[in-house]
């Protein structure tokens, strides 16, 4: 009994540490300490669980050994993967670590269900209805999060197209699957049948897949945030099933904060969450594909690195607008080199960061921080926009949709209403692009065809190095 | 009866945690959204505690295999989650000695700001 009390006190401390850690993550200075605190708390809580009488490890040596083997194996896989994956692949990594968490929560529900059913067949009373309901919630949400995250990973890794995958009657079919899951779950609760429980799990996995398929690549980060929140709720449900306060508090914290974060992210894209999830964004665009045809007849102006180098070197104020293209080319260091060089020549330079530049909010800040770009050179969109009118050059590196004036000027455009960086207000606009391929949103950018716009095609790192050389020679 | 009080206590904790969760992230600057998402992803990895409890009580091959998988997946979540978040946040710290070019460009002022 006393041991139980001690262990629950440790769990309580861990829960407090998690809250403090989340708070810490809201300030750049405290963030790292916050994360380390949460990790330390997790280690202590996991350590204490070996002695938790509810786990019965002292009586079940085989189970203890298996648990340790699973943990060692998991850590041996997770650490190298987390350490070695490129920063640009961070979103899919978060997706996969999130998915496995949901999977674990679902498995907990399944094992508890099987164990209860087994005890029931041996003459123990049927578990309380609310207990089965809790278990089914953990199973359902966990399964959706697991398969949904897996598809999000596959999309971001570009193993399948990032474009929305749609088919006729999609929303009706998804709705029917949802209804069928609820029906099966209720039937499972009423009958306590293992077969129905398994059917619910399978159908929930299917729902996770078909829920994610119609969501376009650009919206997947919002989706990951939502699935992260789902996993939190699944973990909270596991906490209810196992009567464990730590899981309830930690899971609920993540669930609640995740929903809020998801809404902040969709807001940054100028859209509502339901619009992100159910509108099949890109398919609308393909339907209005007339713009593509019009694009071919229009002329773009492409320049040489030397011309652009001179333009940059003799400018007063240059704004660098980085996008995902900079990230995939790993060009953040070269961008900083160019910025430093220009600053040495007395040019005023800053980076204008769109909230969803890169593939997750804040992703671009992480990448630029990696290249040691100091905070004071990074300006958030709201801070940067009033200055765009006085800029001589807007240097757009691998960004497209986040500077597309259609968001302001074309009410019919799918991105209409999305806040953008006003690159079009600068005296000159330079696009460093790999090709004329449209951005994630799949729509043409009128700014590319503007008279004051010059394009420089190529890999961002390559073109930036050429510009560095051109500025040196200028 | 005692069971009903139990579930009510857990519900109370749940509802309070919802408010805390909302309150805690309400003022996060957008540059920290990605680390925050990653950090909270690591925190729900504490499902490992639940997976361990289930593994400890599992009996029979099916439960053992599923319990083993639960512990494995939860470990991936918690270890990978914290490691990746730490790696992200590590980058927000300017490394001393690597800003010399910048010091020339912007003077001692900027150098101080970068630290």
Are both A277 and A325 inside the same structural domain? no
String of b and e for A186-207 (b: at least 16 CB within 10 Å)?
eebbeebeeebbbbbbebbbbb
Chain centroid offset of residue A386 CA: 29
Beta-bridge partner residues of A85: none
Q: Which residue has the higher pLDDT, A45 or A282?
A: A45
CA distance A295 to chain B (A): 35
Q: Are residues A256 and A357 in the same domain?
A: no
Q: What is the pLDDT of chain A when averaged over all its residues?
A: 87
Residue A134 shares a structural domain with residue A264: yes
What does the pLDDT read at residue A435? 77
Q: Which two tokens stand for residue B67?
A: 């319990």
* Mean pLDDT, range A409-429, rounded to an integer: 84
| Unique residue bearing structure tokens 């690195």 | A305
- pLDDT tens-digit map of B86-109: 988 887 664 443 443 333 333 333
Average pLDDT over residues A246-270: 88
Question: Is the minimum CB–CB distance between A60 and chain B shorter than 8 Å?
Answer: yes
Are A98 and A145 a contacting pair, CB within 8 Å? yes
Same domain, A277 and A314: no
- Let me know whether A280 and A322 are in one domain: no
Domain shared by A240 and A368, yes or no: no
Cβ–Cβ under 8 Å, residues A368 and B90:
no
Residue A135 lies in a domain: yes
Q: What pLDDT, on the 0 to 100 scale, is given for residue A345?
A: 92
C-alpha A401/C-alpha A271 separation (Å) is 14
Could you say which DSSP state residue B94 is in? P
Among B6, B56, B85, the residue with its CB nearest the CB of A35 is B85
Does A142 share its domain with A277?
yes
- Strands lying side by side in the sheet with A348-353: A378-380, A348-353, A317-322, A393-397, A428-433, A453-457
Cβ within 8 Å of residue A436, ≥6 positions away? A295, A300, A448
CA A256/CA A2 separation, integer angstroms: 33
Number of domains in chain A: 2
Together in a domain, A264 and A309: no
* Beta-bridge partner residues of A395: A320, A430
For range A408-432, the mean pLDDT? 85
Q: Rounded CA gap, B62 and A212, in Å?
A: 30
Query: What angle in degrees, to the nearest 10, is found between the helix axes of A332-344 and A305-313?
Result: 50
The Cα-based distances of A205 to A20, A211, A452, A472 in angstroms read 34, 10, 51, 56
Interface test with A, best of B15, B32, B34 (most A CBs within 10 A): B34
Q: Is residue A34 part of a domain?
A: no
Q: Are residues A161 and A249 in the same domain?
A: yes
Q: Would you tell me which residues 22-51 of chain A have a C-beta closer than 8 angstroms to some C-beta of chain B?
A: 22-23, 25-28, 31-32, 34-36, 38-39, 42, 45-46, 49-50
Do the beta carbons of residue A403 and residue A396 sit within 8 Å?
yes
Domain positions in chain B are 2-93
Instruction: Report residue B4's pLDDT band, with 50, 70 and 90 as the boundaries.
Output: low
A206 and A146 within one domain: yes
Q: What is the mean pLDDT of residues A272-300?
A: 54
Q: At residue A103, does pLDDT exceed 60? A: yes
Interface test with A, best of B11, B42, B50 (most A CBs within 10 A): B50
ipTM for the predicted complex comes to 0.81
Final residue in a domain of this structure, among A231, A263, A287: A287
Tokens 């009033």 map to which residue? A386
The pair of structure tokens assigned to B40 is 């909270």
Contact A254 B64 (CB under 8 A): no
Instruction: Give pairs for A171-178: CB < 8 Å, separation 24+.
Output: A171/A278, A173/A210, A174/A207, A174/A210, A174/A211, A177/A203, A177/A206, A177/A207, A177/A210, A178/A207
In a domain, A244, yes or no: yes
| Rounded CA separation A112/A363 (Å) | 39
Q: Please tell me which of A19-33, A273-287, A354-368 the model is most confident about, judged by mean pLDDT.
A: A19-33
Residue A199 within a domain: yes
| Residue A174, burial from CB neighbour count under 10 angstroms (0-12, 13-18, 19+) | middle
Q: Is residue A54 part of a domain?
A: no
pLDDT in the model for residue B96: 42
As a whole number of angstroms, the distance between CA A374 and CA A365 comes to 10
Cα–Cα distance list, A441 to A56, A177, A416, A463 (Å): 53, 28, 11, 24
Phi, psi of A433 (to 5 degrees): -135, 155
Residues A360 and A448 in one domain: yes
Backbone torsions φ then ψ of A397, nearest 5 degrees:
-105, 100
CA-to-CA dists, residue B4 to A129, A193, A381, B60, angstroms: 11, 24, 51, 31
Contacts of B17 in chain A (CB under 8 A): 236, 248-249, 252-253, 256
The predicted pLDDT at position A253 comes to 94
Report the pLDDT averaged over residues A186-198: 92
DSSP A434: S
Domain termination residue (choose one: A231, A264, A287): A287
Q: Give me the residues paired with residue A353 across strands.
A: A380
Q: What residues of chain B lie within 8 A of the CB of A35, using their CB?
A: 35, 39, 42, 82, 85-86, 89
| Interface residue A253 vs chain B (CB under 8 A) | yes
User: Is position A420 within any domain?
Assistant: yes
User: In this complex, do A249 and B110 lie within 8 Å of one another by their Cβ atoms?
Assistant: no
Band of residue A192 on the pLDDT scale cut at 50, 70, 90: confident
Check pLDDT > 50 for residue B112.
no
Helical H runs in A213-320? 220-241, 245-268, 273-278, 281-287, 290-297, 305-313
Relative to beta strand A348-353, strand A317-322 is parallel
pLDDT band at A78 (very low <50, low <70, confident <90, very high): very high
Final residue before a domain boundary, out of A287, A313, A346: A287
Q: Is the Cβ–Cβ distance between A385 and A421 less than 8 Å?
A: yes
Structural contact between residues A406 and A443, judged by C-beta atoms closer than 8 angstroms? yes
Which residue, among A295, A382, A365, has the nearest Cα to A327 in the 3D structure? A365
Which pLDDT does position A289 carry in this prediction?
36
DSSP 3-state of A332: helix
Distance CA A246, CA A5 (A): 13
Nearest Cα residue in chain B from A51: B53
Rounded to 5 degrees, what are φ and ψ at A396?
-95, 110
Q: Residues in chain B, how many?
A: 115
**For the domain that residue A363 is a member of, what is the CATH number?**
3.40.50.1220
Write phi, then psi, for A221 (nearest 5 degrees).
Answer: -55, -40
Q: What is the mean pLDDT of residues A328-341?
A: 89
Rounded Cα distance between B70 and A102, Å, is: 10
B53 — pLDDT class (breaks 50, 70, 90): very high
Q: Are residues A205 and A251 in the same domain?
A: yes
Provide the domain limits for residue A154. Answer: 98-287
d(CA A432, CA A456): 5
Distance CA B75, CA A82 (A): 13
- Burial class of residue A469, CB neighbours in 10 A (0-12, 13-18, 19+): middle
C-alpha–C-alpha distance, residues A63 and A180, integer Å: 36
Helix runs in A157-244, H state only: 170-191, 194-212, 220-241
Q: How confident is the model at residue A351 (pLDDT cuts 50, 70, 90)?
A: very high
């Amino acid at each position: 009994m006393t041991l139980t009390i001690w262990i629950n006190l440790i769990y309580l401390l861990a829960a407090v540490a998690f809250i403090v850690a989340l708070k810490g993550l809201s300030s750049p200075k405290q963030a790292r300490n916050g994360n380390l605190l949460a990790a330390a708390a997790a280690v202590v809580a996991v350590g204490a669980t070996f002695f938790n009488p509810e786990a019965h490890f002292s009586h079940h040596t085989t189970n203890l050994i298996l648990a340790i083997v699973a943990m060692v194996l998991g850590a041996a896989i997770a650490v190298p993967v987390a350490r070695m994956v490129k920063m640009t692949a961070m979103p899919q990594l978060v997706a996969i670590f999130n998915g496995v968490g949901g999977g674990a929560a679902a498995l907990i529900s399944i094992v508890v269900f099987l164990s209860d059913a087994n005890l029931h067949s041996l003459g123990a009373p049927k578990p309380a209805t609310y207990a089965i309901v809790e278990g089914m919630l953990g199973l359902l949400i966990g399964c959706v999060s697991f398969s949904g995250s897996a598809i999000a990973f596959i999309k971001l890794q570009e193993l399948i197209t990032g474009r929305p995958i749609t088919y006729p009657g999609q929303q009706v079919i998804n709705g029917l699957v949802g209804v069928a899951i609820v029906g099966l779950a209720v039937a499972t609760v009423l009958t306590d049948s293992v077969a129905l429980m398994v059917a619910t799990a399978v159908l929930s996995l299917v729902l996770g897949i078909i829920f994610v398929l119609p969501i376009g690549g650009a919206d997947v980060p919002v989706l990951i945030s939502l699935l992260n929140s789902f996993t939190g709720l699944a973990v909270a449900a596991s906490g209810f099933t196992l009567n464990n306060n730590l899981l309830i508090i930690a899971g609920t914290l993540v669930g609640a904060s995740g929903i809020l974060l998801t809404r902040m992210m969709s807001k940054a894209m100028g859209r509502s969450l339901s619009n992100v999830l159910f509108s099949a964004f890109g398919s609308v665009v393909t339907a209005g594909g007339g713009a593509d045809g019009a694009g071919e007849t229009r002329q773009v102006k492409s320049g040489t690195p030397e011309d652009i180098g001179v333009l940059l070197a003799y400018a007063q104020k240059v704004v660098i607008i980085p996008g995902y293209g900079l990230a995939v080319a790993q060009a953040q260091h070269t961008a900083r080199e160019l910025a430093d060089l220009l600053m040495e020549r007395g040019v005023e330079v800053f980076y204008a960061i769109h909230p969803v530049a890169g593939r997750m909010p804040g992703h671009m800040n992480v990448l630029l921080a990696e290249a040691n770009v100091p905070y004071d050179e990074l300006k958030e969109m709201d801070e940067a926009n009033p200055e765009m009118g006085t800029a001589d050059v807007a240097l757009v590196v691998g960004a497209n949709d986040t500077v597309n004036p259609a968001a302001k000027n074309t009410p019919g455009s799918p991105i209409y209403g999305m806040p953008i960086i006003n690159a079009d207000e600068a005296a000159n606009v330079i696009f460093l692009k790999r090709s004329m391929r449209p951005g994630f949103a799949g729509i043409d950018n009128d700014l590319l065809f503007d008279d004051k716009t010059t394009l420089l095609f190529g890999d961002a790192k390559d073109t930036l190095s050429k510009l560095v050389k051109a500025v040196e020679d200028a | 009866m005692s069971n009903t009080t139990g579930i009510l206590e857990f519900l109370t904790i749940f509802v309070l945690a919802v408010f805390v969760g909302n309150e805690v992230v309400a003022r996060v600057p957008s540059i920290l959204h990605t680390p925050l998402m990653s950090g909270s992803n690591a925190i729900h990895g504490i499902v490992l505690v639940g997976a361990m409890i289930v593994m400890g009580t599992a009996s029979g091959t099916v439960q053992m295999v599923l319990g083993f998988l639960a512990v494995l997946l939860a470990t991936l979540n918690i270890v990978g989650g914290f490691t990746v978040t730490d790696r992200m946040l590590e980058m927000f710290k300017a490394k001393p000695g690597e800003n010399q070019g910048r010091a020339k460009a912007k003077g001692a002022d900027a150098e101080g700001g970068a630290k």
